[in-house]
């Protein structure tokens, strides 16, 4: 297994982040620093990060969390704020699949399966994520809806077309497959309706459902398999 994938599978970080850790010289194999993420390694090779041995866990798990406001989407926070990882009562090294803004609530996934996390978050795989947005300056009229559906020009480029439904005069359900920083908030502001409250209600085939705020549950094998299947488009696209 390649070193970058090994670290992701061991729950160190997502595959892209693991490659950065390797290039920074923080990883050793059999006591020697290795900076090539493509280096082939096995569990018995003695892979360590910052001097601590890491291994690929025998069991890979995925948890769904209903993130409350004020909780950060990281494994550790230097400012001491609560993290989504701290909400999971499991003695495992987990990390979030993507991020939600600190003031955004709703569905976020945590896992120790780096390969799955990579596939769920990389734009190539186009896994959709749906958000319920309560916005200012209602009602939201057809020109704003049409702009969101066709793509909005932001400071980091035009967004891909979104699937948008108006569910109330001041509420939209917006489905995107990109993952830019604060993207839904910036899209709504660009069409004249700043977001007052934002909840992620779906990630690929998985819905938030009735999971309470701050609640956690481990996904079933069928649900994890459905998440894997949701990334199949990226394989088809080569």
**Cβ atoms < 10 Å from Cβ of 220:** 10
> What would the two tokens of residue 63 be?
């948890």
Contact residues for 92 (Cβ-Cβ < 8 A; gap 6+): 11, 57, 61, 112
Residues 133 and 190 in one domain: yes
The single-letter DSSP state of residue 12 is S
Q: How many domains does the chain have?
A: 3
Residues 71 and 114 in one domain: yes
Task: Kindly list the catalytic residues.
Answer: 101
Residues 173 and 77 in one domain: no
CATH classification at residue 46: 3.10.290.10
Where in the sequence is the domain holding 12, given as residue range(s)? 3-53
pLDDT digits (tens, 9 = 90+) for 58-116: 678 999 999 999 999 998 899 999 999 999 988 888 889 999 999 999 999 999 888 89
Is the torsion defined by CA of 61, 178, 210, 105 positive or negative?
A: positive
Phi first, then psi, for residue 228 (nearest 5°) are -60, -45
> What would the two tokens of residue 82 be?
């609560």
pLDDT bracket for residue 16 (50, 70, 90): confident
Q: Are 204 and 49 in contact (CB under 8 A)?
A: no
pLDDT digits (tens, 9 = 90+) for 158-192: 999 999 999 999 999 999 999 899 999 999 999 99
């Amino acid at each position: 297994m390649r070193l970058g994938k090994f670290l992701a599978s061991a729950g160190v970080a997502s595959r892209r982040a693991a490659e950065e850790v390797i290039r920074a010289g923080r990883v050793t194999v059999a006591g020697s620093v290795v900076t090539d993420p493509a280096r082939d390694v096995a569990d018995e090779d003695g892979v360590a990060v910052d001097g601590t041995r890491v291994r690929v866990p025998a069991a890979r798990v995925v948890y769904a969390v209903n993130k409350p406001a004020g909780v950060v989407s990281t494994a550790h926070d230097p400012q001491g704020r609560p993290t989504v990882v701290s909400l999971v009562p499991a003695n495992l090294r987990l990390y979030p699949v993507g991020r939600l803004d600190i003031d955004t609530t709703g569905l976020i996934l945590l896992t120790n399966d780096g390969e799955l996390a990579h596939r769920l978050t990389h734009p190539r795989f186009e896994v959709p994520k749906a958000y319920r947005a309560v916005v200012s300056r209602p009602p939201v009229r057809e020109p704003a809806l049409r702009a969101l559906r066709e793509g909005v020009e932001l400071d980091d480029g035009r967004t891909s077309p979104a699937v948008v439904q108006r569910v109330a005069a001041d509420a939209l359900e917006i489905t995107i497959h990109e993952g830019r920083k604060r993207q839904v908030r910036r899209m709504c502001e660009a069409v004249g309706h700043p977001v007052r409250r934002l909840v992620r209600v779906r990630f690929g085939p998985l819905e938030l459902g009735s999971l309470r705020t701050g609640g956690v549950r481990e996904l079933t094998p069928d649900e994890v398999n459905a998440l894997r299947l949701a990334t199949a488009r990226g394989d088809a696209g080569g």
